[in-house]
Amino acid sequence: MSTPAPATGSPRVKALLGALIALLLLVGVGGALVVGNRGQQAPAPEAGTYAVPAAATSPSGGLLVNRDASASAPTIDIYLDFQCPWCKRFHDTLDPGLTKLMSAKSAKVVLHLKTFLDSGDNDSSARVARAAACAADAGRLWQFQDAAFAGQPAQEGTGFTDAQIQQFAATAGITGESAATWKTCVADGRYSGYIEAVEAQSTRDGIRGTPTYRIAGKDADLTQVLPQDGPPNPQAFFAQVPAARS
Amino acid sequence: MSSQASVQERTKSGARSRFTWPEVVGLVARLVLGGALLVAGALKIGSPIVAARAVQAYQILPFEVAAYVGYALPVLEIIVGLLLVIGLFTRPMALVGLLLMVAFIIGIASAWARGLSIDCGCFGGGGTIGATETKYPQEIARDALFALCGLWLVVRPSSLFSLDRRLAGPTA
């Protein structure tokens, strides 16, 4: 008991453990960087190798909702993920005003359907986004996104079933022959490459979160739209749209 | 327990009792800070892209660098959290935890000051949210509590039921 600890004792064990943990940290962080980076780079298919909806502004651009807008109208780009609760909140607040702007042809509304909330088994954002792109072919994108947001599950991450997505199309008024076309488009996964390209492009465009609204290329200030206290204030958004000022 | 000898050796007042109150506080501090880090890391490690977006939403680091921080942070949090919970290398790990918390507080305060509307992304999630949903004061208070735990352990790393204690072993 009174002799000093043997040389093989705890200091060496601890040094060994320390080295082991340092190694673990190195491997773990390195691995995380590699995995994360791969996830970042994977969804960047080469343009020309995938089908692009007619409404897309470019092979990796958003979907123009109203092609009949006047040429001089400012563009409102909306970056959204159908699984994102705040996208729904902003959608619910701004949708009537946006619809009004579009019927006056005084703004071009472009939807960038992001899928970054997909993870693991959850591929709901991608499935809904692909179905929405197919709905754009039927000229029903705006109605489809309304239906998809209305059907967003209360709990984030629950996702959408295929049956729900089918229901969104029906609610959006895709019926008869166009319903058959839509179904084929969805079943073929026709726009999977396009949706991946949109996600990759939005990262390159510096989108830092959803929803992001850009008016004529500039990030809109959303801080006053849903104030801490008081009702939603869509006017705080529309005041930033040049064409909406009278 | 075989650790009694080292209790006497390591504490000023605990010669007679098996433990001292500061050591109980140390244990609590380890569990609170370590547990929080462990949970925070575990909730984020499965979705690296979301974690990367959460860091990018602060708009502090360059876009690419922020993504790398988002990928690496959960791993760091889990390892440091685990070591704190089991009480191995308590002082250096507490220092890392303290520095992390100080960095988080600076980040959140900066986002707040710049009028950003983001979720801190501390326990997963993150990114832009509505102005009504920001919880900056609560987030800062919570992280300050964790930082306090870290500070305590940096000053007094000795605590109950720690592997450090066990490894120090019967040396008397």
Cβ atoms B85, B41 nearer than 8 A = no
Per-residue model confidence (pLDDT) at position A41: 53
Residue A119 near chain B (CB below 8 Å): yes
Mean pLDDT value across residues A207-216: 88
Banded pLDDT at B65 (limits 50, 70, 90): confident
Banded pLDDT at A42 (limits 50, 70, 90): low
Is A36 in contact with B76 (Cβ distance < 8 A)? no
Mean pLDDT value across residues B3-26: 62
| A180 has pLDDT over 90 | yes
Cβ atoms B29, B159 nearer than 8 A = yes
Instruction: Give the tokens for residue A137.
Output: 């072919």
- Tell me the chain A residues in contact with residue B171 when contact means C-beta distances shorter than 8 Å: 4-5, 9-10
**Cβ count within 10 A of residue B141:** 11
Cβ atoms A239, A245 nearer than 8 A = yes
Q: Which residue carries 């990030």 as its tokens?
A: A219
Chain A stretch 182-211, residues whose beta carbon is closer than 8 A to a beta carbon of chain B = 206, 208-211
In whole numbers, what is the pLDDT of chain A averaged over residues? 88
| Alpha-carbon span A123 to A130, nearest angstrom | 11
Instruction: Calculate how close chain B gets to A161, using CA atoms only, in Å.
Output: 21
| Alpha-carbon span A54 to A235, nearest angstrom | 32
Could you tell me which residue, A97 or A118, shows the higher pLDDT? A97
Pairing of strands A63-64, A218-219: unpaired
Cβ atoms B105, B145 nearer than 8 A = no
| Alpha-carbon span B143 to B111, nearest angstrom | 15
Per-residue model confidence (pLDDT) at position A157: 80
| A115 has pLDDT over 70 | yes
ipTM of the complex: 0.74
| B44 has pLDDT over 70 | yes
Total number of residues shown for chain B: 172
Mean pLDDT value across residues A2-16: 64
Per-residue model confidence (pLDDT) at position A114: 94
- Tell me the chain B residues in contact with residue A119 when contact means C-beta distances shorter than 8 Å: 46-47, 49-50
Mean pLDDT value across residues B15-37: 87
Cβ atoms B158, B6 nearer than 8 A = no
Banded pLDDT at A246 (limits 50, 70, 90): very low
| Alpha-carbon span A117 to A157, nearest angstrom | 8
| A121 has pLDDT over 90 | no
Mean pLDDT value across residues B105-128: 88
